[in-house]
Amino acid sequence: MKMAPMPLPLFFFFFFVFLFPSLFSLQENSQLSELTTPPSLPSPLAPALFVIGDSTVDSGTNNHLLTLARADHPPYGRDFDTGRPTGRFSNGRVVVDYLALRLGLPFVRPYLGLNGKVEELVQGVNYASAGAGVIFASGSNLGMHLSLKRQMQQVSDTYERLELGLGEVAAADLFTKSVFYISIGTNDFTHYYFRNTTNIRSLYLPWEFNQLLVETIQHELKNLYNLNVRKVIIMGVAPIGCSPHYLWEYNSVYGECVEQINNMIVQLNFAMTYMVHKLNMELDGAMFTFCDAFEGSLDILRNRDRYGFVSTTDACCGMGKYGGMIMCLFPEMACKNATNHVWWDQYHPTDAVNRILADNVWSGKHAEMCYPMNLQNMTTPKT
């Protein structure tokens, strides 16, 4: 879920996208490093959490890149633990922050913000980069980003460093017992297929494009397996046809979702479910699970009163109809209370939604959306 570029005077654009955020990033790095595991579990349920993906789980990677897809400026992070922007595309936490705490681990720090020391890697790394896609070119219109292929190279580099620092046996054991979380694919639609970049729609019909995404992800899952990874959560693409940006772009009258967009997402998630089931059958010891973010998000949209949401169409921070025309730039653009909003900005959900989705990934608390198992079942010691 990413931001669309917009016309701005050159100086104004340069200052607020690249210089202004840096005033907050330096102090935030030191504050975030002080966040430790709450005293909730006697010992972690997994030794580490490794995160691969896009802006749905980026925890600060893009703070280090020259790109439009950055969230290191207010009001992003205003409801985060430190009260300051971190690079997360949310008013507060993202899903993997809640899952890290469930596992008894600290928040996972971005790979690009580390020095490469082994002690920085043993509890997990976040490789996710806003603007990234399964397809290498996806999101290129936003500037620099780390594609799925590049993030996989970083995973391989991490494994090699762990082998050198811990030894081959210990490194393999760490990856085998750790949880890997993958959340990617949105930009392949928002910033590639739907924009018809490189005339892609004349080359691939919707079902063919979905198949390309599934086959690419399947290939990378096998690469992870070859690195001794066994526990993987694959998060599906959310209903982006209901996001404020597409409600605005398609001139939705009453806030109805854009069905032609959502239908393509449903088909992708269905194919992903089957692919994950097939890999579990083929790969000995694999514990791969697919979590359907589409169904989990629709449950929230359809039952907003049960969850305490007032707005399911308008972005808390944005401009234009539904707040979907312009990305979130200034604190003055944001609503006062994000907790009763489903959407934080053009594409991204609020902390409140991320908490609900994390509950579902963990245990199916509000809605069953993970198949064949949830994260709690995946990590519970066998008796």
How does pLDDT run across 193-207, given as a tens digit for each residue? 999 988 999 999 999
Residue of 73, 245, 341, 348 marked catalytic = 348
Give me the DSSP letters along 181-248: EEE--HHHIIIIITTTGGGHHHH--HHHHHHHHHHHHHHHHHHHHHTT--EEEEEPPP-GGGSHHHHH
Residue of 292, 345, 351, 359 marked catalytic = 345
Residue of 55, 138, 178, 252 marked catalytic = 55
Burial class (CB in 10 A: 0-12, 13-18, 19+), 55: buried
Residues 62 and 121: beta-carbon distance below 8 Å: no
Mean pLDDT by 10 residues, the chain (383 residues): 40 40 44 46 88 98 95 98 97 98 97 92 98 94 95 98 98 98 97 92 96 98 98 98 98 97 98 98 98 98 97 97 95 98 98 98 98 97 71
Give domain limits for the chain.
10-379
As a dihedral over the C-alpha atoms of residue 317, residue 322, residue 327, residue 329, rounded to 10 degrees, the angle is -30
Domain 10-379 has CATH 3.40.50.1110: yes
Q: What is the pLDDT of residue 197?
A: 85
Known catalytic residue at 348 = yes
- Per the prediction, the chain carries an average pLDDT of 91
Q: What is the pLDDT of residue 234?
A: 98
Known catalytic residue at 55 = yes
